[in-house]
């Protein structure tokens, strides 16, 4: 079925639901928005890349039924209004009861307990520059929902993270502790939960309330809830602004630069190797190259740091020499001594050749 041109004109901006007709009480399993078109029916052709929706449609059709489209609100004034209605309905039903991937638009103003609203708007800001301890920050705004229970919230914080380096996942040989022993769950810059990190595992290998179709090169930790942690309930700020989520969904605070900076190089290498394997299908050779590149990239990263540090020190010395003649004289003497040593070495080498 599809809407006629006349119907789509009257619909305008609208919000719709996909309904599972099975059972004594049909249930909504997806909520969406559209604008004077047949988008609501396009979902019937969902591919395997939309795993949850695909499985639900497959199960409905396997039972001899077809999903139903219901219009929840139409004739809305703008696309923005449609987004607001869509988000409100998703919140009312609970995203965990739907196949939608995210809660929708404007979730900062969405469904939540009165205590959560108070936490969000009365939270005291704390500048990350004043926090000395190392932390891992997990930004869960997209997956957070006030209807999730404590276990579901825990799984949102700990699971399915990509690009977590071996240095982060491995305890220090000396102390037996992780470089980042505490994980913070952050929603709209506010710390909502804190967990101790006991161990890291490949994604999908521990008991969980969640599922993911993409587990390759992803990781998850197990740990304990840290009740009463000093950062829970505080809004994280940096240079007077709320700390935003980054593109990877997680990040470090007070990271060990010596250990993690070369990982920036490794990220590029891993992406290149992954792309190569997707093009050629040579998974084993790609994995081998990836492991061979790890030590090389780490060494290059350390050497780059030392070179930069050397340039900085030389620049500072040159500046001091311009300001203080005594420093300039000392530098000249040092230069002369080095030149004398160099000449001696060259002379001795010439003698050996002859």
Q: What is the full DSSP assignment across 179-244?
A: SS-EEEEEETTEEEEEEEEEEEEETT-S--S---S--TTEEEEEEEE-TT-TTTTPEEEETTEEPP
Q: Residues 187-210: pLDDT tens digits?
A: 889 999 999 999 999 999 999 999
| 92-124 per-residue burial string, b: 16 or more CB within 10 A, e: under 16 | ebebeebbbeebbbebeebbbeeeeeebbeebe
- Short-list 102, 140, 107, 104, CA closest to 248: 140
Q: What pLDDT band is residue 280 in, cutting at 50, 70 and 90?
A: very low
Report, as an integer, the average pLDDT of 327-344: 50
Of the candidates 54, 290, 247, 219, the one whose C-alpha atom is nearest the C-alpha of residue 139 is: 247
| Six token digits for residue 137 | 């920050």
Of residues 296 and 139, the one with the higher pLDDT is: 139
**String of b and e for 217-228 (b: at least 16 CB within 10 Å)?**
ebbbbbbeebee
- What local confidence, expressed as pLDDT, does residue 261 receive? 42
**How sure is the predictor about 287, in pLDDT bands with cuts at 50, 70 and 90?**
very low
Residue 338 has pLDDT above 80, yes or no: no
User: Nearest-5° angle of CA 265, CA 270, CA 272?
Assistant: 100
pLDDT in tens, 224-257: 999 999 999 899 999 999 999 988 899 999 876 4
Query: Average of pLDDT values for 112-131?
Result: 84
Lateral strand order in the sheet of 68-76: 27-35, 13-20, 68-76
Please report the pLDDT score of residue 327 as a whole number. 52
pLDDT interval class at 313 (50, 70, 90): low
Q: How confident is the model at residue 300 (pLDDT cuts 50, 70, 90)?
A: confident
User: Rounded to whole angstroms, what are the CA distances from 87 to 81, 84, 119, 187?
Assistant: 10, 5, 21, 17
44 neighbors 16 (Cβ within 8 angstroms): no
- Res. 346: pLDDT tops 50: no
Using alpha carbons, select from 217, 220, 253, 244 the residue that is nearest to residue 139. 244
- pLDDT surpasses 50 at 283: no
Instruction: Please compute the mean of the pLDDT values over residues 3-19 and round it to a whole number.
Output: 95
Quick one: average pLDDT of 40-62? Answer: 88
Query: For the chain, how long is the longest CA-to-CA vector?
Result: 102
End-to-end CA distance of the chain: 96
Q: What's this model's pTM, rounded to 2 decimal places? A: 0.55
Q: Taking residues 324-350, report their average pLDDT.
A: 48
Question: How far, in Å, are 104, 106, 110 from residue 86 at the CA level?
Answer: 7, 10, 11
| Structure confidence at residue 292 as a pLDDT band (50, 70, 90) | low
Q: Which of 4-18, 36-50, 136-150 has the highest mean pLDDT?
A: 4-18
- E strands, 254-345, where? none
Residue 40 burial (C-beta neighbours within 10 Å; 0-12, 13-18, 19+): buried
What CA–CA distance (Å, rounded) separates 186 from 250? 9
**Residue 136 DSSP SS3:** strand
| pLDDT band per the 50, 70, 90 thresholds, residue 266 | very low
Tokens representing residue 226 in the block: 């840290």
Which positions ≥6 away from 145 have C-beta within 8 Å? 91, 94, 95, 96, 103, 111
Q: How confident is the model at residue 263 (pLDDT cuts 50, 70, 90)?
A: very low
Q: What is the pLDDT of residue 294?
A: 57
Q: Is 316 or 124 the better-scoring residue by pLDDT?
A: 124
Mean pLDDT, range 101-117, rounded to an integer: 73
Q: What is the pLDDT of residues 132-165, one digit of tens each?
A: 999 999 999 888 877 788 999 999 999 999 999 9
Q: Percentage of the chain with pLDDT > 70?
A: 73
Return the pLDDT at 122.
Answer: 81
- Residue 57, pLDDT score: 93
DSSP state of 22: -
Q: Tell me how far apart the alpha carbons of residues 138 and 245 are, in angstroms, rounded to a whole number.
A: 8
Does pLDDT of 320 surpass 70? no
Nearest-Å Rg of the Cα atoms of the chain is 29
Q: In the predicted model, what is the mean pLDDT of residues 42-51?
A: 83
The pLDDT mean for the chain works out to 81
Give the residue-averaged pLDDT of 101-121.
73
């Amino acid at each position: 079925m599809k809407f006629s041109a006349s119907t789509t004109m009257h619909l305008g901006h609208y919000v719709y639901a996909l309904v599972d007709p099975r059972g004594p009480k049909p249930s909504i399993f997806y909520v969406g928005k559209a604008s004077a078109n047949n988008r609501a029916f396009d979902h019937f052709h969902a591919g395997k890349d939309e795993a949850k929706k695909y499985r639900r449609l497959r199960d409905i059709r396997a039972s001899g039924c077809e999903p139903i489209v219901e219009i929840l609100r139409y004739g809305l004034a703008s696309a923005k209004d449609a987004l607001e209605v869509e988000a409100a309905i998703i919140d009312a039903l609970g995203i965990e009861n739907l196949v939608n991937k995210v809660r929708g638009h404007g979730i900062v103003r969405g469904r939540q307990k009165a205590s959560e609203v108070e936490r969000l708007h009365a939270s005291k800001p704390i500048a990350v520059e004043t926090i000395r301890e190392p932390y891992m920050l997990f930004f869960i705004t997209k997956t957070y929902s006030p209807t999730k229970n404590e276990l579901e919230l825990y799984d949102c914080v700990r699971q399915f993270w990509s690009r977590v380096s071996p240095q982060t996942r491995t305890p220090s040989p000396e102390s037996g502790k992780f470089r980042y022993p505490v994980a913070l769950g952050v929603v709209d810059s506010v710390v909502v939960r804190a967990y101790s990190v006991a161990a890291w595992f490949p994604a999908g290998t521990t008991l969980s309330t969640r599922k993911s179709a993409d587990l390759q090169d992803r990781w998850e930790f197990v740990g304990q809830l840290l009740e009463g942690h000093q950062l829970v309930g505080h809004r994280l700020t940096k240079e007077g602004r709320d700390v935003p989520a980054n593109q990877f969904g997680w990040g470090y605070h007070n990271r060990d630069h010596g250990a993690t900076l070369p990982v920036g190089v490794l990220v590029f290498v891993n992406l290149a190797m992954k792309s190569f394997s997707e093009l050629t299908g040579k998974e084993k050779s790609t994995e081998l190259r990836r492991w061979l590149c790890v030590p090389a990239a780490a060494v290059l990263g350390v050497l780059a740091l030392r070179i930069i540090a050397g340039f900085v020190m030389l620049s500072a010395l040159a500046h001091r020499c311009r300001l203080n003649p005594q420093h300039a004289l000392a530098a000249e003497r040092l230069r002369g001594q080095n030149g004398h040593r160099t000449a001696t070495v060259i002379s001795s080498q010439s003698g050996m050749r002859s």
